[in-house]
Amino acid sequence: MKTTLLKPIVLVCFFILVLSCVKDTDFDQAEDITLTPVVELDLIYFDLDASEFFDQVNNVPRSTVTDTTEIRFLDDSEIRESLRRADFYFKFTNSIPRSFQVDFMFLSEQNDTTYTTQAFVNEGSSANVVITEFEEQIEGEDILQLTMADKVVVSVTIPSSNANLSGNLNLQSKTTYYLEIRDRQ
């Protein structure tokens, strides 16, 4: 007698479970899902010695040191459509007794300037290392210009230099990208 009641009870419980899970479920809502991932990436870094601002061979100061870095992350069409905001963070550690102007130029594959920004680094010394932080938030129309960039050129300009100048200028940076991914039909 126990086995004859067990089958109908299990069957009724199964139907209740199935009906309760499906009832009032709107599967069309799956199309309205928006993902908002946040991606943090290292952008550029360098460690410049003060001697790089003086040409020992020709015995003349070098006022600007330039470096180019490719940024292939932004050249993807899916990223271009999904990117809503980018936050740049630059941290300079300066032990050179000079201040600096640092220019960041974002360039397209054709070397057209798509976006620029600038930072000023405070003077430091070997006894008093100075940290200068710079943050920039990019959104709106500027984000479209940024996504057209294929590389970033960093130019570090020193007001004056000589053969006896010592110390280092270090840059560490990262970018936080805020994406919004929707179903594209």
Percentage of residues of the chain with pLDDT beyond 70: 84
Mean pLDDT, the chain, integer: 86
**Is residue 185 scored above 70 in pLDDT?**
no
d(CA 63, CA 52): 10
Identify which of 185, 166, 161, 153 has the alpha carbon closest to the alpha carbon of residue 46. 153
The predicted pLDDT at position 131 comes to: 97
Whether 123 has a pLDDT exceeding 90, the answer reads yes
**Lowest-pLDDT choice from 11-25, 84-98, 139-153, 163-177:** 11-25
pTM beyond 0.85: the answer is no
* Partners of residue 183 on adjacent β-strands: none
CA–CA separation, 78 and 183 (whole Å): 12
Q: Is residue 132 very low, low, confident or very high in pLDDT (cuts 50, 70, 90)?
A: very high
- Of the ranges 22-36, 55-69, 92-106, 150-164, which one carries the lowest mean pLDDT score? 22-36
DSSP string computed for 112-130 = -EEEEEEEEE----SSS-E
CA distances to 20, 64, 103, 129, 132 from 126, in Å: 72, 21, 24, 6, 15
Residue 89's pLDDT is 97
pLDDT at 180 (0 to 100): 87
Q: What domains lie within the chain, and their CATH numbers?
A: 32-182 (2.60.120.660)
The tokens for 61 are 């100061």
pLDDT band at 26 (very low <50, low <70, confident <90, very high): low
